[in-house]
Structure 1
């Protein structure tokens, strides 16, 4: 029986500069070597060495587009594992600095392909409180209803091999938010509907005025959004 090589993964993430690169890639977008070097505070040459190690461990893949090489996480399962590790890892000065800067990371952000942060946790709590979502057997189970179409969710008509609505421990809130296909559909819809907007850099997302209105009307999150320190609609920023 094959034994998982945890030692290879451990070596890959056992460096502060590499973990900062991985946190940058948790946004779900691809970045160049120079951009990741800037995020980690190292030279491009050092970043290249770090990225080769991360690629050898299967955590990151590189894609050449024209004259540039872009790097991204190798898949959602890597993002999921990193998010879970982040939930139990000590927070360093980098995290505290990010939290102090434009509250985006702390307030509402993308976790690879789904919504994370206090807004995501509040959304999950509201769906459970209103009976649209059940937390059962360590998983989330949606209850059929009109609410889902309004959130851009298409419920599967058959049992899926992987959970449709997977609980994900939020690493800043230490509480669960929705991941899996449902989480991906909600984030995709929120971006396409103009409820959220991505900045040029970073995992933080900007909540628009229509986004405030939609989340308040559909899930009663008006007071929760208003209570999030530092969160403003991008029209007001």
Structure 2
């Protein structure tokens, strides 16, 4: 009799962590790359603080979340970039427009539309804005997508010319593709994706909408993205 794969119990345990709507809601919210308090997550998921605490404990014990305590507050975040990509990739398997995934309220429809237009995926840009940037960089010879993502020499010069540091000593890959769960196409992640996202937000090209991870391009951002990458404003609105 063949011995079972020793990874099977761990895989089953990981799947069980996300096989709960409240825990999945927490992980999706934390894809904005920020740390949330337990209370904020409880309100976001519309559950009691005691219920949130129980679920958060399981996610921390399972290695999907890391926690930090500052005074009376307990802050939670996704453990690392690999965890964020796992959550995003799983979300990409959910078919948009399915009967079970159809928004039931006007506010839910609006929130879904905002996320599809633009959002942060952990620490990089996703949605139509993220896809538009990856496409524009590819068309201009700054990014290659033939066998995975890779910055060209012109791409490295493009970042340097705009003063966007790429953390050469980082253990993370310089660039990597991340499957976009709304567009079903890859957007830019890795060190370069994170650095570009910071630059876009710090420069005011995009702003966050509310307390979630949805972002939108500002008028100045639309002009800048057109000037630097040739992106038409109509594609990211």
| Candidates 55, 58, 76, aligned match of 1:53 | 58
User: In the TM superposition, what is the alpha-carbon distance from 1:102 to its structure 2 partner?
Assistant: 7.5
| Candidates 214, 234, 237, aligned match of 1:226 | 234
Partner of 2:223: 213
- Aligned pair count reads 225
Mean CA deviation greater in 78-87 or 201-210: 201-210
| Candidates 31, 44, 47, aligned match of 2:36 | 31
Alignment partner of 1:103: what SS? helix
Mark the CA change 1:68 to 1:95 in structure 2 (over 3 Å): closer, same or farther.
farther
Partner of 1:132: 142
Partners of 2:131 and 2:83 lie apart in 1 by 21
Partner of 1:66: 71
C-alpha contact 2:38 2:75 (8 A) present in aligned 1: yes
C-alpha contact 2:91 2:181 (8 A) present in aligned 1: yes
Alignment partner of 2:183: what SS? coil
Q: State TM-score, norm by structure 2.
A: 0.85
Which aligned pairs between 1:97-136 and structure 2 lie closer than 5 A?
98-101=108-111, 103-136=113-146
Partners of 2:199 and 2:104 lie apart in 1 by 28
C-alpha contact 1:199 1:205 (8 A) present in aligned 2: yes
For structure 2, the residue ranges without an aligned partner over 5 or more in a row are none
| Candidates 192, 206, 214, aligned match of 1:196 | 206
User: In the TM superposition, what is the alpha-carbon distance from 1:99 to its structure 2 partner?
Assistant: 4.3
Which aligned pairs between 1:158-169 and structure 2 lie closer than 5 A?
162-169=172-179
For structure 1, the residue ranges without an aligned partner over 5 or more in a row are 232-237
C-alpha contact 1:147 1:218 (8 A) present in aligned 2: no
Partner of 1:186: 196
